[in-house]
Amino acid sequence: MRELTYNEAALEAVAEEMRRDSKIFYMSTDALPPLLNEFGPQRIKATPITEAAFTGIGIGAAGCGFRPIVDWRQVTFCFVAMDQIVNQAAKIHYMFGGQVTFPLLFRASVGGGGLVAAQHSQSPYSMFMNVAGLKMFLPSTPYDMKGLLKTAIRDNNPVISFESSRLMGRKGPVPEEDYAIPLGQADVKREGRDVTVVALAWLVHEALAAAEALDKEGVSVEIVDPRSLVPLDAETICSSVRKTGRLVIADEAGPTAGFSAEIAAVVAEDAATFERLAAPVKRVCALQVPIPYSPVLENHVFPDRNRIIAGIREVLDAKGPARAV
Amino acid sequence: MMSLSPNLPPDKQREMLRQMLMIRRFEERASADYLAGKIYGVVHCYIGEEAVAVGVCSTLKRDDRIISTHRGHGHCIAKGADLNRMMAELYGRQTGYCKGKGGSMHIADFDIGMLGANGIVAGGISIITGAGLAAQMEGKRGVAVSFFGDGASNAGPFHECLNIAAAWKLPMIYVCENNMYAAQTAAAVTHALSDVAAKAAGYGIPGVVVDGNDIFAVYQATNRAVERARAGEGPTLIECKTYRWRAHTERRGQPDPRDPAEIEAWKGRDPITRLERQLRDQGHLDDAGLRSMEGDVMRVLEAAVTFADASPFPLPEQATDDVFAA
């Protein structure tokens, strides 16, 4: 099968959908050249650097029958549009009694690794997961990126495509034929027996490397990639944990009230899964600090394959919750 | 003195008066029912500012789109909303415009181009600018109107959107209802300029100040702006100087820092009395005609209250409906 980068897969999904549906148009502070060349400035609009305005413009156009794609580029730039995202886009369909739909795709890169310091290395998806009315996903491969993006563009709700900046140039197989991946469907990236690692984006690849290393020691690691954050495929996660009895959650964001906290809660709340836990849940996350600039500091803050290995060893050694017999 | 009527047929002029009366009676009832506990949360009354909504919307077609503010009943009624569904929404009923999920601050009717009241100051300006972009892309000569207050004119989205609308020549009309107070705070305390319309100069678009209590002045200024927008020449900013008679909200015991003499002075410029007087002077309205108009308005209002009162509340479990569209 041919290979595309993560970024190429995203652009291919956008271009294919734009060819299919003339109601789709694209707004971003810089017009992306391949899209601009094919679709022209009427559909690929370069906006002023005013996310509050063009996010709201996207909402309004969506309510009038268009299907806008609003590309914030980096997630950090969307914070000036929080009123439009949280007060308007997330609530407008519900608040107006469902009378019209707001098909709207937001794109935002997340994550660190670029040595660009605190404002440009963020992974704030759990802030958005907390807001009812938004769907969102964070893919780990070019294949998942294209399939999820196509679904999101066809969805009749505001959907945020979080895209890992560390993975932009990473290649992977992407079929030529049309396909779409439903939101709310996790993917088991590696099957195993001894421990479940739930990981997102770049950390899926770090977890795969960790699993390879541990395989040599006879430890069998299962890796579940939720892919979609809202809706979340709790069943695939719980069913894996019921099988292995141990859970490590790896996330490039900090732990506090984060994606990792949500996964831990989902597993702890499900009685059938909780009773199979043989060890406390372990979270392998970024430190709860703004992301620093210097490589020495940045490396210290982010989790990687070594910390995932350490986390796995910890849950393999630990004892489970005491249970009444 | 108010502006002489433009070349509008007497029927249309009487209809403008009827709509202003409808807004006023609707809100008098909403206020009373709020204080009686039949309407919940918060109600912001538009009384005193009716000439802006009706003057502006009288220039529009059904397919043209508007967006409103937290003070939104007047814009809804002027754009042709159904009174039954409006009152039912205030009553929190299943039959309301938003099935009881929105209330006074969130009434919308997309079928008539009313893209919603909005509880966030300046929150609607970019959304309706998106409707302006949609109208431009549709290419059917539609226009979009943003209603907002003097408070919103100091917020970022106002300036960001005026710039984009001017740069892209969007068919937009930005209507500032300058009632001189942003909630409790006087505009004199927070505005660098006394005229909001002057801000248009920064974006190279027309900025017009009109007496917002003079319905024909509002109508004529809007009509010019609409013609300009339909011709593809871009946006206009219209500032309507007006005044709200009531406090910021209907909440009992809420302080109103305004000078009572100021409030009384503005009541002397009642847009409804002014239009009524002009119609009488020109022989387009007599006592019988006014009585019949008042009777008609009250019948519609009473029917709306009866409809709302008889409508079922939503089922509790409907709270989880419509979070996402299918």
**Subunit contact B164:A47, Cβ cutoff 8 A:** yes
Averaged pLDDT, A260-278: 97
Predicted pLDDT at B94: 98
Which of B:139-158 have CB within 8 Å of A? 144, 156-157
The span from the CA of B75 to the CA of B60, in Å, is 12
Q: Above pLDDT 70, what percent of chain A?
A: 98
Of B97, B106, B126, the CB nearest to A60: B126
Say what the ipTM of the complex is.
0.96
In this predicted model, what pLDDT tens digit does every residue of A145-193 receive, in sequence order? 999 999 999 999 999 999 999 999 999 999 999 999 999 999 999 999 9
Predicted pLDDT at A321: 61
**Subunit contact A53:B126, Cβ cutoff 8 A:** yes
Place of tokens 């009152």: B87
Predicted pLDDT at B255: 84
pLDDT over 60 at A323, yes or no: no
Band the pLDDT of B4: cuts 50, 70, 90.
Answer: confident
Predicted pLDDT at A322: 53
Return the DSSP state at B120: S
**Subunit contact B322:A50, Cβ cutoff 8 A:** no
User: Is residue B102 within 8 angstroms of chain A, CB to CB?
Assistant: yes
In this predicted model, what pLDDT tens digit does every residue of A80-118 receive, in sequence order? 999 999 999 999 999 999 999 999 999 999 999 999 999
Chain centre distance of CA A259: 10
Predicted pLDDT at B151: 96
Band the pLDDT of B3: cuts 50, 70, 90.
Answer: confident
Predicted pLDDT at A324: 45
In this predicted model, what pLDDT tens digit does every residue of B104-135 receive, in sequence order? 999 999 999 999 999 999 999 999 999 999 99
The answer to whether B311 and B95 have CB atoms below 8 angstroms apart is yes
The answer to whether A154 and A202 have CB atoms below 8 angstroms apart is no
Averaged pLDDT, B47-68: 98
Averaged pLDDT, B172-199: 96
Report the chain A residue with the minimal C-alpha distance to residue B92: A97
Report the chain B residue with the minimal C-alpha distance to residue A159: B324
pTM: 0.97
pLDDT over 70 at A34, yes or no: yes
Report the chain A residue with the minimal C-alpha distance to residue B320: A94
For an interface test with B, the pick among A22, A67, A96 (most B C-beta atoms closer than 10 Å) comes out as: A96
Closest CA relative to residue B308, chosen from B72, B7, B5, B95: B95
Predicted pLDDT at B165: 98
Domains of chain A in sequence order: 3-173 (3.40.50.970), 187-317 (3.40.50.920)
Predicted pLDDT at A249: 98
Averaged pLDDT, B64-69: 98
The separation between the first and the last C-alpha atoms of chain A, rounded to the nearest angstrom, is 53
In this predicted model, what pLDDT tens digit does every residue of B229-268 receive, in sequence order? 999 999 999 999 999 999 999 988 888 999 999 999 999 9
Distance from CA of B280 to the nearest CA of A (A): 41
User: Is residue B326 within 8 angstroms of chain A, CB to CB?
Assistant: yes
The class level of CATH for B10-309 reads alpha beta
**Subunit contact A60:B109, Cβ cutoff 8 A:** no
**Subunit contact A60:B137, Cβ cutoff 8 A:** no
Averaged pLDDT, B189-211: 97
Tell me the pairing of strands A228-230 and A135-137: antiparallel
Predicted pLDDT at B158: 98
Predicted pLDDT at B138: 98
Averaged pLDDT, A196-204: 98
Distance from CA of B5 to the nearest CA of A (A): 34
- Which residues of A form the catalytic set? 120
Cβ contacts of B131 on chain A, cutoff 8 Å: 60-61, 63-64
**Subunit contact A102:B161, Cβ cutoff 8 A:** no
**Subunit contact A54:B126, Cβ cutoff 8 A:** yes
**Subunit contact A62:B130, Cβ cutoff 8 A:** yes
In this predicted model, what pLDDT tens digit does every residue of A59-70 receive, in sequence order? 999 999 999 999
pLDDT over 80 at A319, yes or no: no
Averaged pLDDT, B291-299: 98
| Pairwise pLDDT comparison (B71 vs A322), residue with the higher score | B71
What is the pLDDT of chain B when averaged over all its residues? 97
Query: What are the residue boundaries of the structural domains of chain B, listed by start?
Result: 10-309
> Structure tokens of A311?
């986390």
Predicted pLDDT at B297: 98
In this predicted model, what pLDDT tens digit does every residue of B258-283 receive, in sequence order? 999 999 999 999 999 999 999 999 99
Which of B:23-42 have CB within 8 Å of A? none
**Subunit contact B97:A42, Cβ cutoff 8 A:** no
Predicted pLDDT at A13: 98
pLDDT over 60 at A325, yes or no: no
In this predicted model, what pLDDT tens digit does every residue of B144-173 receive, in sequence order? 999 999 999 999 999 999 999 999 999 999
Distance from CA of A53 to the nearest CA of B (A): 5
Of B130, B167, B324, the CB nearest to A60: B130
Cβ contacts of A99 on chain B, cutoff 8 Å: 97-98, 108-111
The span from the CA of A161 to the CA of A109, in Å, is 8
pLDDT over 60 at A58, yes or no: yes
The answer to whether B179 and B269 have CB atoms below 8 angstroms apart is no
| Pairwise pLDDT comparison (B6 vs B213), residue with the higher score | B213
pLDDT over 80 at A320, yes or no: no
In this predicted model, what pLDDT tens digit does every residue of A243-261 receive, in sequence order? 999 999 999 999 999 999 9
User: Is residue A25 within 8 angstroms of chain B, CB to CB?
Assistant: yes
Predicted pLDDT at A59: 98
User: Is residue B322 within 8 angstroms of chain A, CB to CB?
Assistant: yes
